[in-house]
A and B are shown apart, each in its own frame.
Chain A
């Protein structure tokens, strides 16, 4: 059974710092991996989707890497800003399904001015 773990559960950093969020999964036979952002009381916003054949994806100050063999993904945020404060979740499809996403519990990020 696929399990997704995110460590740490919460992280507080000063503005301007570079930071890394971690995601691990138990079954390396994944179709892709997605990183989402969730603001309090809101839905999820997709940040990056990495296909199984890719090693990384970049969008602005965000860079996500994928190492299928070790069951790990990282989300790198450069020059963090208070507006980056949110909960970040990673998700992988369950088994051979392309739609049934299994989510981690998320990392709650607080960037202090």
Chain B
């Protein structure tokens, strides 16, 4: 398996634009996680899904952020409208089940100007 695949690797956009980040988890994994990493706050969980169902979205900063998992092999994290403070590295991870080792993608580095 190629591991967790995220796209794009880098995204530069202007304030107010919509941004969509994509993630393909490892085949057979039932849990998928979205994280955000910044220098100030470190690595924080935004939302996680189990069997395509959102279980905990308490980390989603505000209504501008939304995440979907329409099937077991694809998830999106959308920011609309984007703001400069959203600039960070966004990671997707997957695991066989919630308590198992999480495998991370390479991340998407987002810069909102």
A-B contact count (CB 8 A): 58
The distance in angstroms between the C-alpha atoms of A101 and B43, with both chains bound, is: 9
The number of chain A residues with a CB under 8 A from chain B is 24
Q: Given A42-B106, A44-B91, A97-B56, A103 and B98 touching (CB < 8 A)?
A: no
Is B42 in contact with A99, judged by CB distance below 8 angstroms? no
The number of chain B residues with a CB under 8 A from chain A is 26
B contact patch SS: strand
Task: Give the chain A neighbours of B107 by CB distance below 8 A.
Answer: 42-43
Q: Give B7 Cβ to nearest chain A Cβ, in Å.
A: 13
**Interface on A for B, CB 8 Å cutoff?**
31-32, 34, 36, 42-46, 49, 89, 91, 93-94, 97-106
**Interface on B for A, CB 8 Å cutoff?**
4, 31, 33, 42-45, 48, 50, 55-56, 59, 91, 93, 95, 97-107
